[in-house]
Structure 1
């Protein structure tokens, strides 16, 4: 079972706890402070509006020193399995760095939220471990989003899940919910390792196995003897292995990426719902990026009952606001795409549709004197039918093959399909060690 706007702060580790870290296997009991498509092809008589200047120096602030300062667990020295996982991750140094580069916009959000809550930096590794920081969409009762929250747990944490909006895919909502859970688990179990295990296997399992033991006195060897699913012990090892690499990337031959200007996202609260394609044009961004940053919205337009906000690069927010002011609120939501069949001015299209040319020009990120060329895809006011998909259809019964996604391990796949681990290993002798995204595993269900 797996399991939330953002401030900046630094987490200081008291010297006495640093000595404890070096001396024993018990982590410090530091409580939390609180539970892309291009724009239309046009021939323009004047350049489009310029983008705003870079918003702040913090857009270029590296997350890595902040994470290292906030690390609170033993990392590399926890137990030998951690070192082995670190070496496994480091084998593909270039791919490892590239995956963190793609994760950067969401990583910066999580780092800020950890600092705000005074939680250990190791938990920034959790979304990487669960999903490579990708807002993974699923159906039915399967986990979803970069934190891989199951529906029941997410709803209990206050996350909204509906047909047009899934808060598990929303970087802000899901991060708030996930870190609320981590803080709650630490408050109950007084051990960051057990907080991670509760996130992975459920708090009831941890409570049962812990019994009357004092978590402060648990060594790594003693904790390893707890009768968790092997995947739960492996989950903690992999979390600490990732922190081990981030703590000293040069040791593993890895050069970590740094954020670009557009990696620092800013939350923009809207007065009404808006079509994401319109938002992308107004901000001068590709639709694929806007949809990825705002994956909670499952359709082109925002659901009426969903939170109306956008995550946009801070450097683009001023441009977005200026362009959005040119579009009446009543026209924010309903738009459709149409391919031009002739050469004509954007003003001609505006007259034909019956909207001010300034509105149509803003919606298509062109100036009012632009000429639209044939085959250009224009965004025009008007209702466009959405595909019906309530997200509750169940996966095919008795599948014969499982396609590996981020965070999968053999033990996790075996548990999900109720297949004995040794049988799954016999069916897939090639699957040893780390699984690879897209790899196909043969299955044999218990009710076949």
Structure 2
């Protein structure tokens, strides 16, 4: 949502292009199923143009039905696709990138079982279920240069408007359920205002004020309103592409299911398992013998290592395959092992804020658990109770998206120092000692560590895992500096310079493009 999103360029088609005639589409579709590498070879050799030929021949050559869940979705489509050349161009562009369609639909199969029931409940068009394809490629960790994130790409201002306010523990913009409900409320209000779904979708992207102004300008210029004015309005090019790409995707489901069929797999239902009180997801996954990645895949809203403290019952999303294992693990997991509660005695010079940063908890949680403490009069010697991961030294003691440890064949791990880290913190976190860390890293007595520094952790090698850092192409705006950009995205100035060596000078100009690598959880921390 909002301008600034990176969109896929329209493929340039020659006016002289003619589709290759096909003698037997059944043989082609059978070939795609028999060879698992067909997508890559088609894209590499240009043979996907044959599929464009199928598209040009029309729906009479439709092959088999879609997988049941996708077929049910397509059968609910009721909107009439506008007959606009730009939609046809985008339909062909989408059909020409089979790899993108395949990978995006694979992610969509995870979240559509959550999204579609909410759309039905709100009584809105089922076609809106495809909008996250354009918004985020169905990636809940997608992030835009305007700090929009989640499947529905809520920017901070709109997120606050719809009560999607991040905390240190969760970012509801990445919550598939909460964000979908908010998106449907917003889209419904836009439709009530503009009485046209093309305009409503355009307003979701560009902002309702921009669409209203464009309509006024068009009305003054043309003297009347067309039935579908979005195609005649003076809108940002990104918004034109946004609306046309959505309709192009809907068009594929309307008339060209023979192309989509081999790309799609049936959806897996999503169940909710009630979890009472905070729990370290690493511990729960280990006891249940469930891949930790599976929990974060269906619950991408988590910013930390577990469910938020002081939230009562949390409904964890799982697939039926793992539901019983999670329930059983929760039932037999002693409360003392679900989360570790440590006691910290306040020292001279410490504040609640510094203590919260030291233990990587948010100030609100610290105050809610230690409600008898007056933050304005924190006394030396006061004992605070603080939630921590139940497994000290575990490399999964933070959320999946925050892992930064790499496997080393030398028997140690390398770790990139983050803001707030200290040797004492790292020694405690990885079940080591300050003296061992000093010896392994050549740090003299009294010396410290710096943010961005890579240090060795004396621990047995642990498999590395994929993080969720996202590449952002940021356009410098008036008033920006290297420091302000780094602060905005939760990164270091040294990182910005390393990624963009052409901007080593502190003087930057509006309009310049920068490459940034950002973690969505860092963005959430800066919106609290």
TM-score normalised per structure 1: 0.59
Shift in Å, 1:141: 5.3
For CA contacts below 8 A with separation 6 or more, give which structure has more relative contact order. Answer: 1
Match 1:157 to one of 144, 149, 162: 162
Is the 1:144–1:169 contact (alpha carbons within 8 Å) kept by the matching residues of 2?
A: yes
| Residues 204, 282 of structure 1: alpha-carbon distance in 2 compared, 3 angstrom cutoff | farther
C-alpha distance in structure 1 between counterparts of 2:310 and 2:216, whole Å: 43
Q: What is the CA distance between 1:251 and its match in structure 2? A: 5.1
Name the counterpart of 1:241. Answer: 248
Partner residue in 2 for 1:79: 84
What is the alpha-carbon distance in structure 2 between the residues aligned to residue 231 and residue 172 of structure 1?
27
* Structure 1 counterpart SS, 2:73: helix
Match of 1:219 among 227, 230, 254: 227
In structure 2, do the counterparts of structure 1 residues 254 and 191 end up closer, same or farther at CA, with 3 Å as the change threshold?
same
When Rg is computed on C-alpha atoms for both structures, the one with the higher figure is 2
Quick one: distance in 2 between partners of 1:294 and 1:180? Answer: 22
Q: The residue matched to 1:310 in structure 2 has which SS?
A: strand
1:316 has 2:322 as partner:
yes
Which of 135, 143, 148 is the equivalent residue of 1:143? 148
Partner of 1:344: none
Which residue number in structure 1 is paired with residue 182 of structure 2? 177
Q: Which moved more, 1:317-326 or 1:231-240?
A: 317-326
Structure 2: distance between partners of 1:389 and 1:171: 29
Q: Is the contact made by 1:2 and 1:153 (CA closer than 8 Å) also made in structure 2? A: no
Aligned counterpart in structure 1 of residue 289 of structure 2, from 268, 284, 293: 284
Q: Name the residue aligned to 1:92.
A: 97
* C-alpha distance in structure 1 between counterparts of 2:300 and 2:310, whole Å: 16
Could you list the runs of 5+ residues in structure 1 that have no partner in the other structure?
4-59, 336-378, 391-403, 420-439
Q: 1:118 aligns with which of 115, 120, 123?
A: 123
CA contact 1:267–1:312 (8 Å) conserved in 2: yes
Match of 1:109 among 114, 118, 121: 114
Cα deviation, 1:152-199, whole Å, max 9, x if unaligned, reads 111110113122211111111111111111111112221111110111
Once residues 470 and 131 of structure 2 are traced to their aligned partners in structure 1, the CA distance between those partners, rounded to angstroms, is 15
Looking at structure 1, the residues matched to 181 and 206 of structure 2 have their Cα atoms a distance apart, in angstroms, of 20
- Please give the residue correspondences for 1:355-374 in structure 2 after superposition, counting only pairs within 5 Å: none
1:274 equivalent to 2:279? Answer yes
Q: Which residue of 2 aligns with 1:300?
A: 305
Equivalence for 2:266: 259
Partner of 2:75: 69
Q: Aligned residue pairs: how many?
A: 305
Q: 1:284 to 1:183 in 2, by over 3 A?
A: farther
1:178-234: CA deviations, max 9, x gaps? 111111111222111111011101111122233496xx96334x4222121111111
1:290 deviates by: 1.4
The answer to whether the 8 Å contact 1:135/1:292 transfers is: no
How high is the TM-score relative to the length of structure 2? 0.51
8 Å CA contact 1:126–1:239 kept in 2: the answer is: yes
| Contact 1:165/1:296 (8 A) holds in 2 | yes
Does the 8 A contact of 1:74 with 1:240 survive in 2? no
* Conserved? CA contact 2:477–2:511, under 8 Å: no
Q: Which residue of 1 aligns with 2:461?
A: none
**Whole-angstrom CA distance in 2 between matches of 1:197 and 1:74:** 17
Structure 1, residues 219-275: CA drift from partner, whole Å, max 9, x if none?
34x422212111111111000111111223345465242325xx3212233211221
CA distance in 2 between counterparts of 1:267 and 1:303 reads 17
